[in-house]
Structure 1
């Protein structure tokens, strides 16, 4: 069914003028001004949210929980792939040793993450969510396998940057897309999605533990033992392939997940995104497919969206069209409107929005520095601290790493429960979790035994995954659909930019030369940022995201 794209007198009947005086219409106009979004879009969102709620929480959303989780899984498994195997890579002949620039591999990954999160996040508001959804896992898989075959350190860094470009789009895009298919009553599932982030850390540590324990060289023999050919023992491709096998395995795993996502769990374009660019009929079709998979029915029609838009035609000069029959030129014009910077300026259009957006970007940036200061070098930290306590085996290091990763899973579950409790909500939960992570990291610096080290690292991991779960659910809820990808992209890019400084601090600062130095810095940032979270002006518990 198509409706003329021009605004004509026979479309707007006299009844609509009466409706326009209704208090609910005025309330919506006020909300649209406060949120700096177009009234027509807001009116359609109310209808669309009701339709998605009527579809219920069913098979469609649960399948999407798994396929969206693949992206969060990928994000953390590659962060861990650097942190865990870096000491083994540093042993490779002709690679920088651990005390020098080997940690700049993390810098290379973050360069790719910055470009990827910005590109994929902002493009999601222009060309849609599906392109990034289908491309990111595939790219990280291809370059992950290639990284395992790196002949030298420069090539490895280049390929890690390429992995970062691919995987960088997962956090800003996958969470936003999942949210846009959820009924308002189940938005806590976005926080629970962080469960996959924690699982990625567990799987990454297990894969690395298996291969590094069996296929790593004996550093005590380097330059000492004479080989049968008369050369001195060194770590090379004949005895130090554990890190390569780890990369091969994780890259192949990404390709498997990409195939599952594309063929087994194919997704529709977000109906909210489709409405935001004027493609109402396609949005309606998607809602009906959701209802069908959930074994229910939907009565949503294009006419419902058109009727909801009618009272606001005079208040929206750009979208004076109540329906979705856009010409090619109109679609091109709308695309350029997205590219013009409106999506960015719209995030700061009112004092409340500007304060909220600025705080979110600051929080992402602060945590983006604090988290890798400790976690990006956790493998080497555990090796150093456990050696101090008398545990020197590689199994001791990687078993400790796996324990703390597993505790992060529980943190995600607790976070999903607390964000639904009206007495805590998103802001309090997020701030409390972040402060507690800092407290236990401070306690970690005083640990004297291997049991204390393992216990405190695990507890800190619990709180870290909890606050990240809430944060990555909260931000997409605050940003409205037309600017959600852009807002997530700015926040995620802020996190990646500050993350660049973690390896620089670790390599060049005096604090980075002791195991506890970065931990002190990370703990202090966590506590300060947790207090900042209480200043956020918007609480999203009990509200449905636009």
Structure 2
């Protein structure tokens, strides 16, 4: 999203990305805890509206500081929507179909296509000419200002409004039932049973579950002679449960044996490495494309955003391939994931040697295909290798590693020597991808055809 601010390769774009990542971290943490208190459905709807409202506000930003604050608020909404989406999906999805969680990543790629098309339209028609800045035009020094450079504002207005509209559609046309798990946690057993009956009816089935059966299921955990308690957590109890992954016992459970410790540690490292490599290139793709297209003789915004759209569209195919391989791969998920990651790095290295616009577009599109593929497989693989009682803890640590390292991407791009040329961050990203892909081959657990631990 930050790439729509301007096609120029500037430090402002990178620091805007930093602000967005700060919001993503805060949002994921906040909504990950509060969805256990206010409910999954409430958080699921609220985060989309927050993203949309602050997206519109970002377009009206009077200065860069305000824009950074608005981007952080957008990240706050988006960062919460991602984990809540996954939690809702998994809590309603039958076990044999949980591989479909991987397919959710296809919407990320589709969103990139829509965002790039919107940006392309507005930036191509309502942006100043960067090549004329500082020159004399019509007896005045040419500069970019609000009157001739509002394309990025229109882009934010449009995408923010689109999010609000989708939020309304989600709320009224596709109402989501609250999670039965949440209802049970707050003592609303009847509501939980009603939800399960509605889901069964929608699928042409009949459920015989009753509130008494829920109570009977708790009897083995009640001391002899004691009355069955009414399960209803206080607000503090719900908050404490949502922070359960921070407990020492859960953390220790991820490293209980040498093999498990090696597996958990390597998965967390892989998430962290990819969390750095991916934004080093992709978060600044608009600026990179502008610089490379200029170097091969294409100075227009059309060249930049056509390439941006091509790579986003290829990412859709990568996500679909990942969903297929997560369930039906004969080569194994480890090998598939490693191969896709290494290929991402190989094509990014090749990109640095591209001499023509066609080569640039083709190599970026192919790299995007592999990137979406390896992320899709990784998201399906990682939860399977964490022990079931500690799976939430493992997912939390892996996600945290990815977000924290992602914060360093804009800092490296701005202040390191690698960031002084368009190809510098690409070299760094490619090298990390290849190294990380090789480390994936050392993962000790293959999950194809094996029940999760």
TM-score computed with the length of structure 2 as normaliser? 0.89
State how 1:95-106 maps to structure 2 within 5 Å. 98-106=9-17
- Measure the CA separation in 1 of the matches of 2:450 and 2:176: 25
Q: Is the 8 A contact 1:143 1:163 kept in 2?
A: yes
CA contact (8 A) 2:270 2:440 kept: yes
Aligned to 1:431: 338
Q: CA deviation at 1:154?
A: 0.8
Unaligned residue ranges in structure 1 (runs of 5+): 1-80, 91-97
**Corresponding residue number in structure 2 for 1:326:** 231
Please say which of residues 271-280 and 201-210 is displaced more in the overlay.
271-280
Task: State how far apart, in whole Å, the 1-side matches of 2:443 and 2:227 are.
Answer: 35
Distance 1:273 1:117, change over 3 A: same
Counterpart pick for 2:156 among 247, 255, 258: 247
Matches within 5 A, 1:250-261: 250-261=159-170
1:335 alignment counterpart: 238
Q: 2:252 aligns with which of 328, 344, 349?
A: 349
Question: 2:266 aligned to 359, 382, 394, which one?
Answer: 359
Distance in 1 (CA, whole Å) between partners of 2:263 and 2:191 is 32
Q: Deviations for 1:47-97, whole angstroms, at most 9, x for unmatched residues?
A: xxxxxxxxxxxxxxxxxxxxxxxxxxxxxxxxxx202x2334x6xxxxxxx
The answer to whether the aligner puts 1:404 opposite 2:311 as a matched pair is: yes
Within 2, Cα distance between the matches of 1:542 and 1:322?
A: 43
| Structure 1 residues 496 and 325, CA gap change in structure 2 (3 angstroms) | same
Name 1:113's counterpart in structure 2: 24
Counterpart of 2:2 in structure 1 is 82
Alignment correspondent of 2:131? 220
Q: Look up the match of 1:289.
A: 198
Q: Distance between the aligned counterparts of 1:281 and 1:357, measured in 2?
A: 39
- Aligned equivalents of 1:536, 1:123: Cα separation in 2: 34
Q: Unpaired segments of 5 or more residues in structure 2?
A: none
**Which whole-Å CA distance do the structure 2 matches of 1:532 and 1:263 have between them?**
46
Contact conserved, 1:365 with 1:491, CA < 8 A, in 2?
Answer: yes
Shift in alpha-carbon separation, 1:261–1:427, aligned structure 2, 3 A: farther
Q: 3-state SS of the aligned residue for 1:500?
A: helix
CA distance in 2, matches of 1:280, 1:484: 26
Cα 1:478–1:258, aligned 2, differ >3 Å: closer, same or farther?
farther
Distance (Å, rounded) in 2 between the aligned partners of 1:321 and 1:356: 43
Q: Mean alpha-carbon deviation: is it higher for 404-413 or for 176-185?
A: 176-185
* Residue aligning to 1:67: none
**Aligned ranges 1:6-25 → 2 under 5 Å:** none
The number of residues matched between the two structures is 449
Q: Match for 1:269 among 178, 200, 216?
A: 178
Q: Does 2:83 align with 1:194?
A: no
CA radius of gyration, larger in: 1
What is the CA–CA distance in structure 2 between the aligned matches of 1:270 and 1:455, rounded to whole Å?
44
CA distance in 2, matches of 1:451, 1:321: 75
Alpha-carbon distance between aligned partners in 1 of 2:165 and 2:342, rounded to the nearest angstrom: 38
Report if the CA contact (8 A) 2:180-2:192 is conserved.
yes
- 1:416 lines up with 2:327 in the alignment: no
> RMSD in angstroms over aligned alpha carbons?
3.0
* Contact persistence 1:121–1:489 (CA under 8 A): no
Q: Distance in 1 between matches of 2:131 and 2:355?
A: 26
Specify the SS of the correspondent of 1:420.
helix
What is the CA-CA distance between 1:204 and the residue it aligns to?
Answer: 0.9
TM-score (norm 1): 0.75
Residue 131 of structure 1, CA deviation: 3.0
Distance 2:226 2:118 in 1: 54
Residue 233 of structure 1 corresponds to 142
Question: Tell me, what secondary structure is at the counterpart of 2:92?
Answer: coil
Partners of 2:314 and 2:401 lie apart in 1 by 27
